[in-house]
Amino acid sequence: MRQNILITGASSGLGAEMARQFAAKGRHLALTARRVDRLEALREEILAEHPGVEVVVRALDVNDHDQVFAVVDECVDELGGLDRVVVNAGLGKGGRIGTGKFAANRETIETNVVAALAQCEAAMAHFNERGTGHLVVVSSMSAMRGMPSSMTAYAASKAAIAHLAEGIRMDLVGRRTDIAVTTLFPGYIASEMNEQVEQEQRLMVDTATGVRSMVKAIEKEVGDAAVPGWPWAPLGQVMKHAPLGVVRRLV
C-alpha cells in the first residue's frame, strides 16, 4: 500500500479533495501549495475527522524549481519516505493565440510543463533511490487534441506532461522495480480552475464525484485513465480521431 502521499496544488479543487479522500483511507499526507493558510485549514479539517493520519504542510511555488526539490526532500525526511507523488499543481490562464495574451499563455506553459518536469524529477530521484514509488501526473482530456481560444496553451501543456509521464513509464519497462507511473486525463470536474475558463463546459461533475474516479484509478495504479470513465473514455477516442469541426462542437 502506498501509505505516504505528497500532493502538489493541494490548497483547493482537485488537490484538496484528493487529500480528503486519501485521508479517509488512512493515508499520511504531505500537502503543498502557495496558499499556506488554506493548507493549514485543510490539515485541521482532516485531522479533526481522521486523528490517526499524519499531515505535513509546506509552502511551495512549483515555479521555484530549487524549492520543489527542497520541499520534496523535507517531506521525505518528515514522513520517513514518500510512496506516491501526485503532480497536480497547474494553471489554466490563457487566451487566443495572437491576441496579446502571451504573458498568460507563457505562465500556463511554464507552470504546467516546466514546473511539472521539476516535480517529476524530484519524485523519480527519490523513487529510484528507494526502488519503489508511484508517480501520478494529472493531465486533462483537453490533451487529446489542440483546443481553441483560451484553452489552446492549456491543452498543449497538458499534452506535453502526458507525453512526459509516458516517457518516464517507458523507461521502467523491463526494469525490476516497484515503481509505477499513472497519467490521469480528467474530464470536466468542478474546481476553482475551470471557473475561470471562458467556454461553457458541458458534462461537468461535482468535485467529490470526479475525484472519487481519480482516486480509484490511482489506487489501481493503471498506466493511464480518463476520469470519470463515462463518458470521457469513449469521448477521448472521438476527440483524438474526429475532424476538427466535430471536436470544436464538443468543446
* Catalytic entry in 22, 127, 154, 185: 154
Q: Is 154 a catalytic residue?
A: yes
Among all chains, which residue has been given the C-alpha cell 483547493? 12
Instruction: Count Cα atoms within 13 angstroms, Cβ side, for 154.
Output: 24
Taking a C-beta distance cutoff of 8 angstroms, is the pair 190, 143 a contact?
no
Q: Which residues are catalytic?
A: 154
